[in-house]
Chain A
C-alpha cells in the first residue's frame, strides 16, 4: 500500500504494509535516526515523535493511521549548526550519557512546551513519565527542559535568534 506521509515538512510516498509501525517507516524508508527502537511495546518512549502536535509512541502507531498527518522528528526541529531551543538546551546542560533515550525525551518535552510554554517542574516530570532512561540522566533532562522553556521564551522575544521551533 502507498500512503503519503508528511515528515518534517516534506511529503513522502511510502510503500509499506498498513500495519507497519511509524517507527520503521521513519528509520527504514525515510532513513531518519532520531526515533529509536527501545521496546516496540509502548513501554519506554525511545521512539517518541510528534504527530499533529502530540507526542506519540511511533513503535505502536501503525502508519495506516497517519495518512495526511504531520509528523515531526528530532531532525525536524533544527540542525547541528542551527539547533532548535530544545536542542541547544540539551547541549548546554550536557543532558546525555549514552543518549539513546534522549531524542524521545526531547520530542515529548517539545510537545509539552508547544502547548504550555511555562510548565512547572511537576508538569515536566508528569509529562516525561512514559519515557525511560537507564543511564540515570534524569536530573539533567529536567534541567534541559526548563532551560528549553526559557530559551523558547527568549527566542519569541528576539526573533533574530537562530533555531526556531519547527
Chain B
C-alpha cells in the first residue's frame, strides 16, 4: 500500500531510518525493569522509551481518532473513578496534537470500543494509558505533518502545527480532518516518538479544571446510578445472611402480588426481585428478605483474634529480598509486631449496574475497574462466549479498589437475562455493600532490626503474613452471583500477585539501604473473610509497619526521625520529597510538640517503582477521652512529569484523609457467622469534626520523566505519619490498627 507517491507511514514514524515493524519488548519494558532497584534515578539525557499500553494495543487509531470534520476522539481502556484522569488524558492529547483542549473528546473503557487495558488499578492509568495516548498523539501528529508535506510538496521540517491544522511557511493551512483521509492513523505505533519538549508545554502541567465537575455539581446524569433507559425496571437482590448460606424457602407468590413487582428471580441461592418503580423494588426486597429462610453454616474466626488466626493458617513462604554484609554488626536489637484488621472500601454510593439483554447479547453498564476481565467473568457465568457480552464503563461512586462494582454488574447481567428486552437497573442497599464487598485483607507484620555503634541500622528483618490482594474477576467464580446461582462456580484459587509490584508484599522490601536485610512473604491461601484489592494493597500496612518501625529505631538511636531516614536512603528523588516535606512542615531536629500534641513523619515510594511521597503530620490527643485528631498534614510528592497539578494535589489530599480514617477508626466487624459492620453506624469513618485545619501538598515536577501516577502513593505514608504522631503525642507506641480512641486511652492510662 505504500506505492509511489504514497506516504510511507512506518518510515516516518521510524524517524526516516530503517523500517521498524515490531519493536523489542525490552525497550518497552525498560522503565519497569529499572524500577525495583531502590537506586537513585538519574535524569536521562533523552526521553526514555516508554509507550505504556501501546505495547499491547499498538494501532494508533485505537487511541486517537480524527474525523473528516476535524473532530478528535481519544480512547482509553481505563475507567474514570473520580481520579480525574479523563481530564489529564485530554490535556496530554491536546498538547501533543497541538489542538485546543476543548476540541477533544475522551471515551473511556468499553469492551465494544476501547483498548483492553485490564484493570484501572495500582496507580497505573497515567503510566499505561496516559503514556500510550502521549505517544499515539505524537506519532499521529508526525503522520499528519508528513501527509501535509507530501501534499504541499514542502519539507516536513518547514511545517508546523497549530490549532488542529498543519501550517506551511506561506501560511497555507491543512486541517487535520482533511489530512486523515484513507486510514492514515491505522498503523502500528513505533517504539519511540518524537515528543514535544516539555519546556514548550502550554496545556500539560496546567491545573486545567476537571471536565466532569460541572455536570456533577448541577445535577447532570453523571453516574450509572443516574441511567434511565426506556422501559427500565428496578431490581434488588436479596443476599444470603452469611457466607455460604443455603436458601431453603421463600414466598414467591406473596411477593409477586405486591404492587409494581414484575418478577421474582431465583437461581439456587441467588434471589432477586424486579419492580416498575425503585421503591416498589425495595419494598418487595424487604418482604422477600423477611420471607426467605436460610441455612447458615459459616464459621468465621474470632475478630479479636484475627492476627493469631492468620499466623496459624498454612502459608507459602518465600524470601523476597536478601542482602548480607557480615562486616555490619548490630549491637542493640528491637522487635515489633504490627497488625491490620479487615477494612472496607466503603463507597458512599452502593454498587449499581444496568443490564440489558437483547437478541442474545447482554450489555451491562457498570462502574467496574476492568470492563474486559469483568466481561470474561460474566460471560463464563452466563455460559456464553465473551462476544455475547458487552460491558460499558459508566462512573459510579468512588471505589478505591475492588468493591461491589463487578458483583453488581453480574447481578444485573443475570437478572437481565431472565427478562429479555427489558433494561434492568440493580442497585445494592447499604448493608449489602458493607456486608458483601470484598474487604482489604487483614495483615500481620513482624519486624526486627539492630543498630550498630554509630546508630545506623545494621540488619533488618521483615516478615509479612497476608492473603492475596486481588480476587478480581477474570473467572466467574469471583462474582457473587456466580457463586450463588444454581450450578454455581467455585471461588478460584487465590494467587499471590507477582513482584515487583506485589500484593501482600507490596512495599515489603525496604527502599532504604541496610547492610543486612531479610524480607519474607508468607502468602496465606485460605480466606476466612471475602477480600480483594483495596487502594494501595499490602503497601498500606507494610509502609505503616516499616515507617512506624523506622521511628522506633530512630528513638532507640536517639536520632531525629527525618535525619534517621535520610541517613539510610540513597534514592535522590526520595531524599528530595523528604526534605521538601520537612522544610514545608517546619520540621526541626529536637522539636517538641505542645502539650497533648505530637508530630509524625513517614515516607515511601509506592511499590518502590511509582510515585514518591513524604508526609508530616501533627496530631492532637484529648487526654480525657483518648480521642485523636489530625491537626495538619504536609506532603510532598514526586509523580514524574506533572500533567495536572491540581489533580495530583486532589488525589493526595484525599489519600491523606482516607488513610487517616482507616488508620484511626476503621475495622470490619463480625461474629462467628455474620459480618456485623453493615452501615455507617457500625463502620464509622471520618466526619467533619475530625477534618484537619489544613492539608498542604507540594509537588516536585520532573519534566520529561515518565508519569508515575498518584492515586495510591499517599496511603501508606499517611498511615505511618499519623501513627508516629500518635506515638509522639501519647508517649506510647500503638501497633494494632486502627489506632482508635479506646486503644489510645488505654495506652495513656497505663
Contact = CB atoms under 8 A, between A and B. Distances in A.
17 contacts: A16-B277, A24-B278, A27-B278, A33-B221, A36-B348, A38-B348, A74-B218, A87-B217, A87-B218, A90-B217, A91-B209, A98-B395, A98-B397, A99-B212, A129-B689, A135-B658, A139-B691
Contacts of A40: 282, 429-430
Given A17-B279, A96-B213, A131-B688, A73 B219 contact: yes
B647 to A, nearest CB: 9
Contacts of B654: 97, 135-137
A67 to B, nearest CB: 18
Interface string B653-668: 1111110010000000
Interface in A8-38: 16-17, 20-21, 24, 27-29, 31-34, 36-38
Given A75-B219, A137-B653, 16 more contacts: A16-B279, A24-B282, A28-B278, A38-B349, A40-B282, A98-B397, A99-B216, A100-B349, A103-B217, A125-B688, A126-B688, A129-B687, A132-B685, A132-B687, A133-B348, A134-B685
Contacts of A29: 277
A142 B690 CA distance: 13
B219 A34 contact: yes
A31 B657 CA distance: 33
A96 B658 CA distance: 14
Interface stretch (B1-9, B104-112, B222-230): B222-230
A31 B346 contact: no
A11 to B, nearest CB: 19
Interface string A85-120: 001001100101111111100100000000000000
Nearest to A27: B278
A139 B430 contact: no
B225 A99 contact: no
B427 A37 contact: yes
B347 to A, nearest CB: 6
B33 interface: no
Nearest to B349: A100
B219 A100 contact: no
Given A46-B349, A129-B688, A136 B219 contact: no
A43 B82 contact: no
A96 B326 CA distance: 53
Interface centre among A98, A131, A133, A137 (most CB of B within 10 A): A98
A77 B219 CA distance: 10
B209 A140 contact: no
A89 to B, nearest CB: 9
B47 interface: no
- Interface size for chain B: under 10, 10 to 19, 20 to 34, or 35 or more residues? 35 or more
Nearest to B221: A33
B439 to A, nearest CB: 14
B216 A43 contact: no
A137 B689 CA distance: 14
A41 B398 CA distance: 20
B183 interface: no
A134 B400 contact: yes
Contact of A28 (B223, B279, B346, B651): B279
Contact of A94 (B221, B398, B650, B687): B650
Given A17-B259, A91-B214, A138 B657 contact: yes
A128 interface: yes
A134 B347 contact: yes
Nearest to A144: B217
Interface string B631-660: 000000000000000100011011111100
Given A28-B279, A106-B217, A136-B658, A100 B259 contact: no
Interface residues of A, number: 57
Contacts of B653: 136-137, 139-140
A37 B398 contact: no
A12 to B, nearest CB: 15
Contacts of A31: 228
Contacts of B679: 39, 41, 43
A151 interface: no
A126 B690 CA distance: 11
A142 B688 CA distance: 9
Interface of B: 81-84, 207, 209-210, 212-223, 225-226, 228, 234, 259, 277-279, 282-283, 346-350, 395-398, 400, 427, 429-430, 646, 650-651, 653-658, 661, 679-681, 685-689, 691-692, 694-695
Contacts of A17: 259, 279, 283
Contact of B398 (A21, A97, A126): A97
A109 to B, nearest CB: 11
A134 B345 CA distance: 9
A2 interface: no
A154 interface: no
A129 to B, nearest CB: 5
B630 to A, nearest CB: 11
Contacts of A33: 219-223, 226
B321 to A, nearest CB: 32
Contacts of A74: 217-219
Contacts of B234: 28
Contacts of A87: 217-218
A38 to B, nearest CB: 5
B430 A41 contact: yes
Contacts of A46: 348-349
Contacts of B691: 125, 138-139, 142
A43 B680 CA distance: 6
A110 to B, nearest CB: 11
Contacts of B223: 33, 36, 100
Contacts of B400: 134
B348 A134 contact: yes
Given A87-B217, A102-B216, A136 B655 contact: yes
B87 to A, nearest CB: 10
B91 to A, nearest CB: 14
Interface centre among A32, A33, A38, A128 (most CB of B within 10 A): A33
A105 to B, nearest CB: 10
